[in-house]
Structure 1
Amino acid sequence: MNEFNNSWINFSRMESTEPKTIQPPQKWRKIAYGGMQPGYDDNHTDEGFLKDMVMNANVVKRELTQVILDSVSISQYISIVAIIVSIWTYTLSSSISENSLLLLDSCVLCLGFVVLLLTGSSFTFSLLSKYFFKILFFISGLYVLSPIYYTLTRSISSDSIWALTVSLLVVHLFLHDYSGSTIRPPGGLNNPTLAGNISLNASIVASVLIASRLPSRVHVFALMLFSLQIFLFGPLVTYCIKKFSFRAHLVCSFLLMGLALGLIFPLHRLLFLVFGCLQVFIMLVCPYWLIRIHEYKFEINGPWDEAKLCLDITE
């Protein structure tokens, strides 16, 4: 028995001294949720790990000229709001009578219909006639509600009205859709966004607040009609002009900028200078900044990014 044990021990020692062959590890693979691979560390990467890396794949290169032309739409609408505010100021200071306001409303309404008829390919005479009757109904309702607007803010101080109006206009300008993507042409399917609804409601409330400080019901009706015509139908008119001809869009934009500057100049010289600098800042400085900042944009894409699920409901 002792001889058998000694033989077994000697055999085990001889077996342990023999060199063992090391199996090469399996080829490394990128595994997302497979745990560690045998023979490799958890943070191991091979030399081909970055071969599928793509830099700035989704970055759109912009030209300075195109960005400047796109910024004209922003300056145009800011000029429209400046014109409205100037008319409000002239009316509050009794520089514009109620008859002049009514004449201005009629001119704006007729000019809007003419522009839509000439520039909107989907606008026909029968469609515009339907719009005209709807607008007549809207004007009648506004005239009936004018006495309510006239006494709406009688118990509120004027300072509170001015502060709230300025805040609402800032909200309106901040949330307004300058690209025109939410404007719904006749027969279109575009739905207004939440930001667009908030922007429009802010402009309407600001118009009501200003109109409630006027001395007569006719003043209230005329000013509310002017404001709602511009805020409700102005973006549609400018959108149709831009779709019809971009050159006409540029001419209309610079005419509106000049009109806004001409109305602001008699009111306050410093405000005139600030508004002019603001237009230059929007159309020249901001596009230049965008192009310069765009050079430092750095985006990396590769197979390690989170997978994006694309479901085709047609299948």
Structure 2
Amino acid sequence: MSSDTTVSGLFSASVSASAKRQALRAGLASGTLQRWPGAFSPLVAKLVAEVGFDGVYVSGAVLSADLGLPDIGLTTLTEVAGRGGAIARATDLPTLIDADTGFGEPMSAARTVATLEDAGLAGCHLEDQVNPKRCGHLDGKDVVPVGDMLKRLKAAVSARRDDDFVICARTDARAVESLDSAIDRAKAYADAGADLIFTEALRDLREFEQFRKAVDVPLLANMTEFGKSELFTTQQLGDAGYNAVIYPVTTLRIAMGAVERGLREILSEGTQAGLVDQMQHRSRLYELLRYADYNDFDSDLFNFTLEGATK
């Protein structure tokens, strides 16, 4: 193989999982808001990285939806780790993944952390909902007693082998109990070893700011569409002192909106010709997938001919 062929990053990320975890922690400590769009496939993750974001997020709600299931705790650790690992390998960016309630009791949460570490994720978040859980922006959810969540978190932290693997604690108590309860829970979760706090379904910027003033650990904001929280800009969230923001379902909603419109036009018009200008061009897809580098690699390996071979 010639020395000028670029192999790095063709088949997996060009940096180690450990380096990604270190980058995630450095980003959270940088004082600059870390922006993590959701990726529902490795291809989307590649685009997230190329556009210039700071990390990748894998949403449990999106993974469920992509499997044709509602977000009510039906997915398994195997499914989540498999999809998450494939996404994490597709880019050099750190990937944070939604681990729901840890897929069972505290021992299951411990196994979840070990499995996600093995899959190459940079971190995960565990929530304090009862199991089976539901989408954090739906009504009718419930949370476990604080003591039960502390057991869940302590088990997860104890299972961590790489100290840089980020364990994020999510609380859904704002909608179920109160803002003060969510703040108290966040403090307890941080004391139990959580590196990052994700408080779900805050209502307005005042609540985000109030949470920041009360909790002295890195905080993650969820900017999901059609939910209970207003959609704030990165400037607003950065000014409020948040360390990271996720856009968990945005790319899926964009994609599915386009797919539905396209399918309906094909059905009504009998052709996709009117949609071509809205599509990602094949050449752009090939560029994103680095087809040329794969071709160079293949050519360097298989540039021989067999004696006596005929065309």
Same fold (TM over 0.5): no
| TM-score after normalising by structure 2 | 0.23
| TM-score after normalising by structure 1 | 0.23
Structure showing the higher strand proportion among its residues? 2
Greater radius of gyration (CA)? 1
Structure showing the higher helix proportion among its residues? 1
